[in-house]
Chains A and B, each alone.
Chain A
Amino acid sequence: MSTVELTGVSKRYGRGRIRALADVDIAFDQGVTGLLGPNGAGKTTLLRIVATSIAADSGDVRLLGRDPQRSQAEVTAVRRELGFLPQELGYPSDMTAFGFIEYVAVLKEWNDREVRSQEVRRVLGAVGLADQASVRISRLSGGQRRRVGLAQALLGEPRLLVLDEPTTGLDPAQRADLRRSLSAVAHRSTVLLSTHQTEDVAALCERVVVLAGGTVRFDGAVTDLVATAVGQVWLADEPGEDALVSWRTGTGRHHVVGGRRPVGADPAEPTLEDAYLLMLGPDAQRVHTPS
C-alpha cells in the first residue's frame, strides 16, 4: 500500500463553477515528488487534500493507510505523522523563531517541555537558523521566514511531508540549503512539493507530476519527462516561426522549443523546463480552469 492514494478525487470551488481537480488517480511513496503546473492547475488543492486541510468532493483518499473521511480519529492519526508547509503561511510578528516553532510543536502534541525544546532546536538547526532562535520573526528576512515555516513542517520527522511552494522567496544559496535539508528527510519520508521552479524539481525530485486543468498530464521520472522533449528543442540563428516559445540566449542564438525545426538549427539538449512547456503547450499560460 502506498503512503498516499487518491482514487477518482474531484474538487470544485465557487459553488461548483471552478474545477480544481477532476477525477484524479494518483499514489505517492517514499521519496520526493514534485508537482509542476501553471497557476490554477490544482496543485495546491491536491496538496491541501493530502494535508487534511480540505476534503475532496468525491473519490477515495487514503493517507498513511488511513481514511481521513471516515472519522476524527483517522484524521488525527494522519496529522500526527504529517508535516505541512502551506503556500501562504502567516507569521506572528511578535513571536520569536523559537516561540513560533514551539507553539506549532505543542499543537503537534510535543508535551514534554525538555524534549520539545530539543526538537525545536533540532529543526531550527536543520534549516540553518539555530543562531536566530531568539530573533523576532518580524526581524527575519523573507527567506529566513520561509525556512522557519519549513522548520515547523520538519518537527518530529514526519512520514508525510507536504510543502506548497517551499522555495518561494528564497535566493539561490537558500534554495541550495533547502534542497540539502529536504534530501536529508527524503530517504525516510514521502515528500510532496509544489513549485514553479523546474530546476528545483530537477535537483530534488525523482518523480514529477505535471498538473493542468485539474488533471494529471504527466506522472513519471524527471528523466522520462525530459526525454519527451528530445528532438523538439533547437539552437537557431532565427526565432522559430511556429515555435511554442523561443528566446535569444547569451550566445546570440535562439533557444527554440517546439514547432518545426528552423532552417540551419542545431539540435539542443532539452531541459526539464523545455519538456514542461511542451507537455502543457498553450495551457502553460492558463490561470484558471472554469468548466
Chain B
Amino acid sequence: MTTGTQGWHADSALLSSYLAGDLDAVTGASVEQHVSRCATCRATVGRLVEPQLLEQTWTGIRDVVERPALPFAVRLARRCGLSEPTAVLLASAASLRGAWLVGAFLSLSFATLAAYASGGTALAPFLLAAPLAPVLGVAAAYGPRQDPLEALIATAPYGRTRLILLRTIGVLVSVLPVTVLLGLAIPGPPWLAAAWLGPALALVPVLLALAGFVGPRTAAAVVSLLWSGVVLGSTRALAPTWPVEAAQQGVYLGLAVVACAVIAIRAGADRQPGVAL
C-alpha cells in the first residue's frame, strides 16, 4: 500500500482484510486514516459491510446520542435491578434528579449537625426536616406544575395513580436510607434514628389524599405547616423526643389509615376515569 498519494484508493481485498481485523496494527491504522479522508474508499467499505451490521451499529450509535442520560440515583437503582422502563419513568421526576437529592441531603445534614452540636437537647431541626424531606420530594414528583405532561399521563394506559405511587416509592427509597444513617449520628436513644419514620410514612399518604382536593403544592404547604406546628409546639414544654414517642406514633398510624381511606373513597367517586390520586 502506498500512502500520501493523491488519487490512490485501497482495493477491495485490502479493505475486506481491514474490516475483518486481519491487518497488523500499523497497516490497519494507515487504512483507517485513509478511509476517514477518502469518500470513494468509504463508499467501498459501505458496500463490503453487511447492511444489517451497518444498521445495527448506526442504531447503537444513535441510541447513545439520542437517549437521555439517567440521573445518578436512577442509574444506581438500575444496577440494583430496577427495570429499564421504570427507570425512564423515575428519571423524569424532578425530585429524583441530582440537584433535588443533593439539596435534601444537605438540609438533613445541617439538621443532624445542629442536633449533634446541641448534644441531643435540640432535636427539633432533625425531627422537623426528616419527615418533611420525603413529603416535599413526593409533592415535587407530580402535579401539573411539576409535570407538564399531566394531560398525557391521565390518558396513558400506565395510569396517573400508578405513576404517582411509583414516584412516591422512588422518593422514599432514595431519601429514607440516608436519613436513617444521619439519624444514627444524633445523640440520644438508638430508636430515635428510626422513630421519625412513623410521621414520615403517615405524612406521605396525608399529602397524597389532600393533594386530590387542592393539588400537591398546596397540600405540601399544609402538611409542612402542620408538622412544623407539632414539632415546634412541643419544644416549649415537652420532651425533645415527644413528637416521635410511642403514643404519638399511634396517632400517626391512625392518620395514615384515614388518609388511605380517603384516597380509596375518592378513587370510587372521582369523575375522572381511572384516577385515584
Contacts and interface: CB of A to CB of B under 8 A. Distances in A.
B151 A54 contact: no
A54 B272 contact: yes
A86 B66 contact: no
A168 interface: no
A-B pairs, top 7 by smallest CB distance, nearest first, are A90-B148, A107-B156, A99-B68, A86-B151, A75-B274, A98-B66, A79-B157
Contact of A95 (B84, B85, B92, B157): B92
Nearest to B276: A72
Given A99-B68, A104-B152, A107-B152, A55 B63 contact: no
Interface stretch (A108-116, A211-219, A239-247, A253-261): A108-116
A55 B149 CA distance: 19
Interface in A74-130: 75-76, 79-80, 82, 84, 86, 88-92, 95-96, 98-99, 102-104, 106-111, 113, 117, 121
A141 interface: no
Interface of A: 51-55, 57, 68-69, 72, 75-76, 79-80, 82, 84, 86, 88-92, 95-96, 98-99, 102-104, 106-111, 113, 117, 121, 133-134, 152
Max count, chain B CB within 10 A of own CB: residue among A102, A103, A111: A103
Given A55-B271, A111-B83, 17 more contacts: A53-B151, A54-B272, A55-B272, A80-B157, A84-B151, A90-B144, A90-B148, A95-B92, A98-B67, A99-B67, A99-B68, A104-B152, A107-B89, A107-B152, A107-B157, A121-B62, A152-B152
A90 B67 CA distance: 20
B88 interface: yes
Contact of A103 (B92, B150, B273, B274): B92
Interface string B106-144: 000000000000000000000000000000000000001
Interface of B: 59, 62-63, 65-68, 83-85, 88-89, 92, 144, 147-159, 163, 271-274
A103 B89 contact: yes
Contacts, number: 101
A111 B89 CA distance: 11
Contacts of B84: 111, 113
B39 to A, nearest CB: 21
B66 A76 contact: no
8 contacts: A53-B151, A54-B272, A84-B151, A98-B66, A102-B68, A106-B85, A111-B85, A113-B84
Contacts of A53: 151, 154-155, 272
A89 B65 CA distance: 26
Given A84-B152, A89-B152, A133 B66 contact: yes
A68 B272 CA distance: 10
A103 B158 contact: no
B179 to A, nearest CB: 27
B148 A52 contact: no
B158 A107 contact: yes
A40 B198 CA distance: 48
A204 B23 CA distance: 59
B155 A109 contact: no
Nearest to A110: B85
A157 to B, nearest CB: 15
A108 B158 contact: yes
A75 B153 CA distance: 13
B67 A79 contact: no
Contacts of B66: 96, 98, 133-134
Contacts of B83: 111
Contacts of A121: 62
B68 A95 contact: yes
Contacts of A113: 84-85
